[in-house]
Structure 1
Amino acid sequence: MMFCKVSGCLTDGKVFLSVSGEDWVSIHTRDTAGLRMLQKDDVKVVLLISKEDLLMKSLIPKLETMTGCEVMMVGEEPLKDVQSVVEKEELDWKDVAYMGKNLDF
């Protein structure tokens, strides 16, 4: 199983602002292709979004469709949120990978 933080991992950290007031983010197709390759090899990938990230929160359905991955919102202590999934899947931590821009794990 792999957990991947969306902000700063699938995105480049940029937020584009439009005149109409919309915020945009960019997700690279090579990143989504890499996620699909993992899924093809039977690796379950879960995308992580902070509960405070309103922009990403609004994009959850689009991210799920684009990547084929489950999207999970995590709080201030994401390890606790992730741990429940690891236990539910009956995995050992040695069978889990994490990719993110920060050290909150």
Structure 2
Amino acid sequence: MARDTPVQNRTDSESNDTQLPNLVTIVGRGVPSNYEVAVDGDLEMLAADPVAEGTVVSGGVAEGSIDVGVQRFRFSGEMANVRLVDWNGDQAPDSASVPTVHVEYGAPQR
């Protein structure tokens, strides 16, 4: 017997704003880099298929890679930790190549 996996309904934007009111955006700078984002609440990637984006989301933690483009996550609670490393393993702020991170509390649904 197959076990059903629960799926969140993302079409109810008002409910999503209430439950995951905050937004974190990671912007790649053209250099392959890795990131880890941790929050003290729930975290959800705003992508049709996080695995295709090379991102693993588990509870309040997301780990992934980015070189160009933007990856966004909605979350509840507070930002707990952000770790960024470039392709050489150099961490921010020692490397100017790591992605930038923007955190917006109470961000409207876009």
TM-score by length of 2: 0.31
Determine which structure has the larger strand proportion and give its number: 2
Determine which structure has the larger helix proportion and give its number: 1
